Amino acid sequence: MEIKKQNSFTALCFSEKTTLAGIFKYVRVKARELYQDAAENQLEIAGPVYWIYTGMDGNPETIFNLDILIPVSKPERYNGNFKIKTVDPINCLFVLHSGSWEKLPDTYGQIFRETAMKHYSPTGTCREVYIHMDFENPENNLTEVQIGIQN
């Protein structure tokens, strides 16, 4: 587990208020729509899919903001179905999660235990960066989990 600062970047973004219980309807749907929209609008893709959770506390019923996005080069104009967003920089603790997403709660638990042990102050923003997705063999997935912390 390491600390890093991730700089801001431009992204094609889907945003929604939802709950943990309600996010599964977006899996394998919104990223595909974002990629399709990017291609139709001739946007240059500049990175992997991100899921950003703001205000999520682990309670399945808590409403929080979910952004699903793909980094793109800043377009001169855009007329698609989503929005172009500048994603804020973040100081974060991060860890690479290798394997099935069903085990992501264990990775989050590990990060939050370290956050508490080292007296870091979480910002309320968590990010998942889907570096490699393998839907047929989930043990091959590689996801960077980022927990925002105060400077």
Average of pLDDT values for 3-32?
Answer: 95
pLDDT at 5: 95
Average of pLDDT values for 102-117?
Answer: 92
pLDDT higher than threshold 80 for residue 151: no
Laid out side by side, the sheet with 64-71 consists of 2-6, 90-98, 142-149, 122-132, 49-54, 64-71, 9-18, 83-87
Number of domains in the chain: 1
pLDDT at 35: 97
Question: Which among 63, 9, 70 is positioned nearest to 43, based on CA atoms?
Answer: 70
Name the pLDDT band for 1 (thresholds 50, 70, 90).
confident
DSSP 73: P
CB 48, CB 82: distance < 8 Å: no
Average of pLDDT values for 6-18?
Answer: 97
CB 93, CB 1: distance < 8 Å: yes
Average of pLDDT values for 33-46?
Answer: 97
pLDDT higher than threshold 90 for residue 57: no
Residue with tokens 């043990």: 139
Average of pLDDT values for 43-49?
Answer: 97
Average of pLDDT values for 64-71?
Answer: 98
H-helix segments, the chain: 30-40, 104-117
- What's the number of CA atoms in the CB half-sphere (13 Å) around residue 12? 30
CB 107, CB 147: distance < 8 Å: no
pLDDT at 58: 83
CB 67, CB 125: distance < 8 Å: no
pLDDT at 41: 97
Name the pLDDT band for 128 (thresholds 50, 70, 90).
very high
What is the C-alpha to C-alpha distance for residues 136 and 142, in angstroms, rounded to an integer? Answer: 14
Return the number of other C-beta atoms located less than 10 Å from residue 42's C-beta: 8
67: its two tokens: 């952004």
Range of the domain at 58: 2-149
Average per-residue pLDDT for the chain:
95
Could you tell me the CATH number of the domain that includes residue 94?
Answer: 3.20.80.10
pLDDT at 66: 98
Largest Cα separation within the chain, whole Å, is 47
Share of the chain above pLDDT 70, in %: 100
